[in-house]
Structure 1
């Protein structure tokens, strides 16, 4: 007796018990109180068997494995072109972790599925009820682990091995590349022509096999099965329906359940408010959602169409005039063993369809030529022969679409892909294509219908999937203005490409006379429908989006100012805008960094200009923002100057806010001494920030222009400091934001550096200067370029005789000061200095009147002179008024 005989007997007993368990599962399913119809989703064999069984039995109640609260959505399938997906959506959640939001459950439906056949039969046959018995979408997330939670794709009848080792074994020995091909070769094709009893037993056997190979982790599946059986028993007890007239449609995995008939205490739903609807889907979306091979759903659709024609079975379709025929009562289901014969005999394979393969070969060559391939008749012959060869190598009597696909790739795609599509994708298009569904108008949510109704004056079919061009002349057709407003909101809310402006813009203070739009709402119908889950109108969704952005925990004052601007552009609600503005004031006062100072300055300037140009008074939140910002930035200014993490761009924006808003802030009660004290307390060490401090001191009157020139001369004369001059210049360029009057001075400093420094000193730091300016001040460099263009001579011949305006010869002793242009305003200031001195005393400014040669002999102030030279139109206008 061998020492391994006990182990051998134990293994043989385990194998026998395993095999017996499979048969027991099949027998248990056949003896259930309800007739169980096992399915695999998107399976032509399941759909064909379902159509046959419905014609024969004509059940009165169909229990379907699908989320029970999706039942009202099924009626809307009449208005759709498949494939579409049932969707449940929730943004405001209660009882779940906040980071899960938004929650979404998606259940796709295709025409080549048993579930669609059951739905179409139930909805179009009088006296038939369809009951969804799976967990509600709320329970789907209740049962999810707390660390998870995202959109869930509900796949009815999922039949796939639950671990990689078994799947790899099946693919290797089946000589196929992926699971979809294995299923088509060894399950779909043999079962397409099988009778119902054989189909039913085989599907339960497969479900039992995969279930027993995965003994761990079935707890949630068993709870789902208890849930469904509990719902079915409750319905039977409430309606008194005869179980013999009912049909239970579920995945084959659940048909072999060991907990069949057990009860489950169902917990109540949470307070989460769920929204339900339909969204378009596509074959490629379903494949990606459930990890199927590319093209497998399209091939299943083509197999379904061919099987329907060959079998003569009339499938059910919603809205079809073909109703269920009255047939004699069905004979009882066979309880005999059909598995033995099916498993021991080779399948009755179809004969080789030469005409079909020839048609495929000709069509793929024609399609390849249209897409840029140099395919010919010789390639069609090669594809034909290669398909037969591959099928023979894989022990197949006839080539499958997968064999044909491999042959086409081998024979046509020799080097590169000339267009957007490779040959494998072309095969998918030829065999069925990526069919994309569409939700009909009557099944759209109110928001989507409202959008289409409001855009109807454009006279376009916006539900088609092709691109439409809308042209609007808003002067000649003012009735189109509401369409323009709606399109701008849709551009904000929908992804890029749904609506695209070709001509026209929408900014504060602008109005487009003519607009041109590319509209692709049909292609982006899903996104439009999902907007309907957020509100009833576009305006409501817009307000919710802006409110959510403004009250987000990570929101900043700059973000909220952007929301304020959007509310003015798109909504025009003063109340809501004021609410957002108050939120911006609150966030600005609470910020402890100045990272967003440039964005804050840019946006508040634009908003102030908009309100001033509109002719009305500034809203209260604007005044509060200016006063709060003035105090806030004065407080943070000394620390920002010395903080290494705060860039010179941010500090320049802070000074820009303080100086440009100074007059308004002082009129609202702010104290200028606070700014002067903040500048005096600032002692930076970084060269760029040092230049900013000098500019701020000059703007406050603490430094004169002569002092600035003297300090810059010291920089250029010190060999140790010359390498850092580009950083000082960067600071001066940033100072143009708070002190634009320094623009001629910055041009002077650059000219002096280029004129005085030798090449061996200038050339090393010139690249650093260019890169620093490009990185730190790209929007201010054009200001310098324009000033230089006004300063330097326009022709090469005039360069030799040109004298810089800041030189001693041109200023006659007033070194570096630009000549003052004589005019009535200059004469008025010189003749009556007392008012100017009084205003200066009120502002706390001290200074002396300087006398120089202004071209007319009168005295002039250097800063005033530079300002008048920079803006002669303003001086002329004042003179005309006087």
Structure 2
């Protein structure tokens, strides 16, 4: 140990001995902290300790770079992110360096996609080092931290480990990315952090750091700054848990990695260590690994090789709020740090470094560097004075606080608060009072926030911003960065270029309205197509149609869109990691969606529909359709039957109107679906876990697509056998089975009506009748022709069910119609409108059709020519005539055919039905002669 810190070491050891009554672990920790400081400062390769987004670190960096003028800067940042740094000059800070991998090799599948971000702000020491190195000729910038691939290699193999969820809409710029900090400096011993917060009279760590470290070090010289930062890093390191701490083990591996990379670079280039600067977190500056230092260590370190994962790199917008949310900082702390940085630049007349062409920052005149570096004085003990003396107040603090108090009242009034000059005085005095209660010599921005909330905030917030948020805006705001056009990936630039005809500023962070008359301006049709694709790919709200729609076979001549491209730039950039154009990205996502293990036939049909709407590729659509056939044949449940039925109906209707013939995959889907659902039908009827809605959808598929299936070679006997093998027990499914048998002709309407009436007449079954009726409602899916019977059954239920049964059932009926049978309601409404009287006056004289009674019918004579094609047809196929007689309320009866002119039987010796209903039948034929004439014309030879 050098003699510079001997006195401080002795003081700390003596104090620990007096406090503990003898030598113990405390004295070892305090002595070890001093040893760590001495070791870091004695290293020939100068170590610059930093804290992430710290104004004091940024100011110290600017001063040191101008004094030392290093030729090589080693920076603690993932080494494979180095090419991105040159693109920072095309961006407006804050932005984040990003590494992205959608397909992984060597990592758990649950981690995909892999996403790493490293945010950069103007006030950070790392940005000052980057700007100096990139804009100063002859200076080399070397990133020495482990690669992004190693970031995930060294994480514990748990599925949820790499995820970091951000819920706030305004800060969701980093999403679920893993954040990489330069200079992460926070206690890893929970009890220590709690102790510091309690005795510092602060609420969170960001406030403690600003009060006790940041503000005192803003005006400190370089030696004092470096010693204090290494001291804090050593303290947190030595008090961190040492056993089973996976994070500490990873940090030590990082330190071995970084020192190994620096030694390799020194050996390869022959650079003098005195011309180098190593920028790392204060925690790493106090490292105790064997590989520490630029000298060759006793044991070498060989990092593991990278996996075969293909990484993509780019820049994404970041914000103060996103940084705070991802790294667990207090709300507004990064904004306050930015405000401190701006005030310190003015106060100490410091000119920071800034990349040429940097957007959004105040342009500063470049200050020429001195021709000769300043010779550093010998290291002296600056810690003793820092630890024993209080920080000095600056003369402008009171004036600054007064300005804050006036400005927050003005800002509050603009946002609907009834604030006045008295409130400004109250905020000023309360800030001073709170600082005194918390044992502070001057109010901090956090004291000012609390005072403003206390004096201005009332019981309600008049606008969308509360006073705390207004304070954050006043002290710096949630600055949001932006990536410049030249730094965008090819896909994002393509999007901007293709939307250029709209004439909008897509970089604006406000919602813009785009109006398109596609008939009058056909050049905007490609813009419309792109917007629909972006709506499919981007988060909700990025592009939102106000007028116009895109459906199968439908295109709108006029469209109106709300575009929020500026605030969703990150999402567009990340699309560039998946392809060159948005169409290629959509194709890849659709193909992946139908190939994943959880894919279903319904999802595949949805992918087919999306491909038809957004992609003009018959080959790709047929590929997705073929996959839908495979998935349907492999399914063992019918959970998605309603969705399958809805989508295949829509696709068939589209192809029948848009193309001359159905695609081959559609025919195969119908054939496979017919056989598949026939096979599963008996089991679905019996299983209690299969809802009625799903069974009705299966029957809907079988009945509504039956004609197409039979034309393709399917056997109707398979459906008849499946229905006969079905033996449900639940009332709803029993009713559904009856409807299916009626549709197949195995049960007549009269028999179905008799069974329904028997249910209503049975007092033991009456409580369960609503369940039967629910099944009849669902039966409209496969048998829409039963709408009249369903209306009849519902009318009888409302008329005859007792109130204890009827009233509890009504909410269930409404819920069923709304959630499960919404498309069936119009069918019921139309049938009810046809059945019931249209006016109130006709209700009294109205008799329901099912209650009308006709006289007993025997045979009714229908005049037909004896012999001839019509008579022969009816004689050969009497079923049609019997069905017609049943619909007319007559009982069919047949007699032998009388030769022409042989006798008076019937009319003209006709072959037909006879009985007392002859007049009614004759009147029906006379009132509607067109049908008989058309039939005679078709049957005449």
- Give the TM-score taking structure 2 as reference length: 0.86
Equivalence for 2:73: 62
How far off is 1:7 after superposition?
Answer: 12
Distance in 1, matches of 2:810 and 2:455, equals 59
Q: Does 1:560 align with 2:604?
A: yes
1:337 to 374, 381, 393: 381
> In the superposition, relative to structure 1, how do residues 812 and 53 fare at CA in structure 2: closer, same or farther (>3 Å)?
farther
Does the CA contact (< 8 Å) of 2:351 and 2:367 recur in 1?
A: no
How far off is 1:179 after superposition?
Answer: 1.0
Equivalence for 2:885: 851
> In the superposition, relative to structure 1, how do residues 833 and 533 fare at CA in structure 2: closer, same or farther (>3 Å)?
farther
Equivalence for 1:279: 316
Distance in 2, matches of 1:512 and 1:705, equals 45
Equivalence for 2:3: none
Does the CA contact (< 8 Å) of 1:504 and 1:512 recur in 2?
A: yes
Equivalence for 1:362: 406
Does the CA contact (< 8 Å) of 2:95 and 2:483 recur in 1?
A: yes
2:450 alignment partner, SS class: helix
Does the CA contact (< 8 Å) of 1:723 and 1:765 recur in 2?
A: no
How far off is 1:357 after superposition?
Answer: 1.4
Does the CA contact (< 8 Å) of 2:784 and 2:827 recur in 1?
A: no
2:116 alignment partner, SS class: strand
Equivalence for 1:80: 91
> In the superposition, relative to structure 1, how do residues 284 and 853 fare at CA in structure 2: closer, same or farther (>3 Å)?
closer
2:142 to 124, 127, 131: 131
Q: Does 1:602 align with 2:646?
A: yes
2:275 to 227, 245, 248: 245
1:360 alignment partner, SS class: helix
Map 1:420-439 → 2, pairs under 5 A = 420-439=464-483
Q: Does 1:732 align with 2:776?
A: yes
Map 1:660-679 → 2, pairs under 5 A = 660-679=704-723
Q: Does 1:457 align with 2:487?
A: no
How far off is 1:349 after superposition?
Answer: 2.5
Q: What is the CA RMSD across the aligned residues, in angstroms?
A: 3.0
1:635 to 679, 684, 697: 679
Cα deviation code 1:836-880 (max 9, x no counterpart)? 999x99xxx9994543797999989xxxx9xx9xxx9x999x999
Map 1:15-34 → 2, pairs under 5 A = 15-34=26-45
Cα deviation code 1:594-642 (max 9, x no counterpart)? 1111111001000000000113211111111000000001011111111
Q: Does 1:231 align with 2:265?
A: no
Equivalence for 2:325: 288
> In the superposition, relative to structure 1, how do residues 121 and 771 fare at CA in structure 2: closer, same or farther (>3 Å)?
closer
1:724 alignment partner, SS class: helix
How far off is 1:835 after superposition?
Answer: 7.2
How far off is 1:136 after superposition?
Answer: 0.2
Equivalence for 1:149: 162
> In the superposition, relative to structure 1, how do residues 45 and 831 fare at CA in structure 2: closer, same or farther (>3 Å)?
farther
Map 1:800-839 → 2, pairs under 5 A = 800-809=844-853, 832=870
Q: Does 1:140 align with 2:166?
A: no
Equivalence for 1:484: 528
Does the CA contact (< 8 Å) of 1:197 and 1:333 recur in 2?
A: no
How far off is 1:72 after superposition?
Answer: 0.2
How far off is 1:513 after superposition?
Answer: 0.8
Does the CA contact (< 8 Å) of 1:445 and 1:532 recur in 2?
A: yes
1:523 alignment partner, SS class: helix
Equivalence for 1:307: 344
> In the superposition, relative to structure 1, how do residues 419 and 548 fare at CA in structure 2: closer, same or farther (>3 Å)?
same
Does the CA contact (< 8 Å) of 1:689 and 1:731 recur in 2?
A: yes
How far off is 1:15 after superposition?
Answer: 3.6
Equivalence for 1:90: 101
Q: Does 1:181 align with 2:181?
A: no
> In the superposition, relative to structure 1, how do residues 24 and 98 fare at CA in structure 2: closer, same or farther (>3 Å)?
same
Distance in 2, matches of 1:302 and 1:289, equals 21
Distance in 2, matches of 1:628 and 1:99, equals 34
Q: Does 1:270 align with 2:322?
A: no
1:713 alignment partner, SS class: helix
Distance in 2, matches of 1:659 and 1:73, equals 61
2:183 alignment partner, SS class: coil
Distance in 1, matches of 2:469 and 2:752, equals 69
Gaps of 5+ in 1: 816-821
How far off is 1:13 after superposition?
Answer: 5.2
Equivalence for 2:670: 626
> In the superposition, relative to structure 1, how do residues 749 and 83 fare at CA in structure 2: closer, same or farther (>3 Å)?
same
> In the superposition, relative to structure 1, how do residues 219 and 475 fare at CA in structure 2: closer, same or farther (>3 Å)?
same
Distance in 2, matches of 1:471 and 1:9, equals 77
Gaps of 5+ in 2: 1-15, 164-176, 357-362, 891-906, 914-920
Distance in 2, matches of 1:801 and 1:770, equals 30
Distance in 1, matches of 2:320 and 2:856, equals 83
Does the CA contact (< 8 Å) of 2:189 and 2:241 recur in 1?
A: no
How far off is 1:11 after superposition?
Answer: 4.1
Does the CA contact (< 8 Å) of 2:874 and 2:881 recur in 1?
A: no
How far off is 1:420 after superposition?
Answer: 1.7
How far off is 1:17 after superposition?
Answer: 3.0
1:790 to 808, 812, 834: 834
> In the superposition, relative to structure 1, how do residues 772 and 605 fare at CA in structure 2: closer, same or farther (>3 Å)?
closer
Distance in 1, matches of 2:316 and 2:443, equals 36
How far off is 1:220 after superposition?
Answer: 2.0
Does the CA contact (< 8 Å) of 2:182 and 2:280 recur in 1?
A: yes
Equivalence for 1:742: 786
How far off is 1:14 after superposition?
Answer: 3.9
How far off is 1:33 after superposition?
Answer: 2.3
Map 1:683-694 → 2, pairs under 5 A = 683-694=727-738
> In the superposition, relative to structure 1, how do residues 814 and 190 fare at CA in structure 2: closer, same or farther (>3 Å)?
farther
Does the CA contact (< 8 Å) of 1:727 and 1:769 recur in 2?
A: no
How far off is 1:803 after superposition?
Answer: 3.5
Cα deviation code 1:544-570 (max 9, x no counterpart)? 111121112111111111111111111
Cα deviation code 1:489-538 (max 9, x no counterpart)? 11111111100000001111111110000000001111111111111110
1:613 to 657, 671, 680: 657
Distance in 1, matches of 2:337 and 2:402, equals 20
Distance in 2, matches of 1:387 and 1:565, equals 62
> In the superposition, relative to structure 1, how do residues 26 and 768 fare at CA in structure 2: closer, same or farther (>3 Å)?
closer
1:513 to 543, 557, 561: 557
- Give the TM-score taking structure 1 as reference length: 0.92
- Larger displacement relative to structure 2 (69-78 or 531-540): 531-540
Equivalence for 1:751: 795
Distance in 2, matches of 1:796 and 1:361, equals 71
How far off is 1:805 after superposition?
Answer: 3.3
Distance in 2, matches of 1:658 and 1:295, equals 62
1:219 to 243, 249, 258: 249
2:578 alignment partner, SS class: coil
Does the CA contact (< 8 Å) of 1:469 and 1:518 recur in 2?
A: yes
Cα deviation code 1:764-793 (max 9, x no counterpart)? 655554455445433313321221111111
